[in-house]
């Protein structure tokens, strides 16, 4: 990955779990798609988890997201392919980012995933 804004690299297992949680939240809760919507959700303090595409070009589109996630103490994970984020969000195209606002049935999975992300960041 080696992106400037990536403070840690999530293993494939955590990325896949995050995508599953995004899909479940899309179906049973509420999500925000795209870097602008994700930014607003983070700044408003309603984002529970943010997924950021790792292959976004130009990277300036998403490079602010980890910083504001840290500032607002919102967990995030960088997914290698933005197309995976888009597909899990229910789009036919890639999405630079997505934020889970209401987890729905994914509440317990998000709590577990957030714990795993916190361990990675230590």
For the chain, the domains span 12-121
Distance CA 98, CA 85 (A): 7
pLDDT tens-place values along the chain, 122 residues long: 457 777 788 999 999 999 999 999 999 999 999 999 999 999 999 999 999 999 999 999 999 999 999 999 999 999 999 999 999 999 999 999 999 999 999 999 999 999 999 998 87
- Distances in Å between the alpha carbon of 51 and those of 38, 69? 9, 11
Place of tokens 């996630």: 69
Distance of CA 16 to the CA centre of its chain: 11
Give, to the nearest 10 degrees, the angle between helix 12-28 and helix 107-121: 150
Tokens linked to 76: 């995030």
pLDDT in the model for residue 1: 44
* Edge-to-edge strand ranges of the sheet holding 97-102: 30-33, 97-102, 49-53, 76-79
| Total-model pTM | 0.94
pLDDT tens figures, 32-59: 999 999 999 999 999 999 999 999 999 9
Place of tokens 């992106």: 3
Domain boundaries 12-121, corresponding CATH code: 3.30.1330.30
């Amino acid at each position: 990955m080696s992106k400037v804004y990536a403070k840690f690299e999530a293993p494939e297992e955590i990325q896949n779990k995050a995508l599953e949680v995004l899909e479940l939240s899309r179906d049973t809760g509420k999500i925000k798609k795209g870097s602008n919507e994700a930014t607003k959700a983070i700044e408003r303090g309603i984002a529970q988890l943010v997924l950021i595409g790792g292959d976004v070009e130009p990277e300036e589109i998403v490079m602010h997201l980890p910083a504001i996630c840290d500032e607002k103490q919102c967990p995030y994970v960088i997914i290698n392919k933005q197309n995976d984020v888009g597909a899990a969000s229910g789009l036919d195209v890639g999405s630079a980012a997505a934020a889970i606002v209401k987890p729905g049935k994914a509440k317990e999975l998000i709590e577990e995933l957030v714990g795993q992300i916190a361990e990675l960041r230590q």
